[in-house]
Amino acid sequence: MKRARLGVLGLIILIAGLAVFRNAGRWLNREDPLAHADVIFVLGGGMPQRAAEAARVYAGGYAPEVWLSRPDNPSAELAKLGIRFVGEEEYNRQILILAGVPENAIHVLPGPVVNTEQELQEAAGELRRGGKTSVIFVTSPQHTRRVWTIWQKLAKNNPRAILHAAHDDPFDPDHWWRNTRDVLSVVRESLGLLNAWAGLPVPPHSN
């Protein structure tokens, strides 16, 4: 009888584990309904989908400005070799302009950032200095839950954040285990969430 109960318990745990595994990709996508905000903020990475999605949100009249972060890059090192490096923020700016966002509506944050935590810290500071009370964060679907979690810890949702996913992103939430790109995304986001839930004890790398 005891062995049978253990067998049933093991089966329940296995089924629950499979359900968690299969739904991990969809669970990572925590998206809010769009609403009017002061700023649309494009998080670094995911080119060109994130910037293109931000342009669509802008065209929908949800905010009058689009902000870009400035991801850390090797421009200084390459300049020593006589190689000019154009940062990701410049490509995103060009995507926005090509999609119809006026140049004077685009703002690039001044400080370089190395990860999502630092990026959101920069965003919070810049938004507060500008007297902004709400922001739409545009990022990849699998990144939304981690962004929301970190924002609650760093900013206490002040300014108020709306999470919006880039719908053209190639991430497949229903079959994420079928290719290495999506598997790595789920692993990275899961580890990032664990770090956030633990109070962000693992700092960003430094140069």
Instruction: Provide the pLDDT for residue 1.
Output: 62
Q: Is residue 60 classed as helix, strand or coil in its secondary structure?
A: coil
Q: Is the pTM of this model over 0.75?
A: yes
**For the chain, what are the domain ranges?**
28-197
Using alpha carbons only, what angle is made at residue 25 by residues 27 and 186, rounded to the nearest 5 degrees? Answer: 115
- The CA distance from 114 to 108, in Å, is 15
Least confident of 49-58, 71-80, 198-207: 198-207
Instruction: Provide the pLDDT for residue 207.
Output: 41
CATH number, span 28-197: 3.40.50.620
Burial 117-126 (b: 16+ CB within 10 A, else e): bbbbbbbbeb
Rounded to the nearest 10 degrees, what angle do helices 2-28 and 180-197 cross at?
A: 100
105, 122, 104: which is closest to 113 by C-alpha?
A: 122
Least confident of 27-36, 56-65, 190-199: 190-199
pLDDT (tens digit, 9 = 90+) per residue, 113-157?
999 999 999 999 999 999 999 999 999 999 999 999 999 999 999
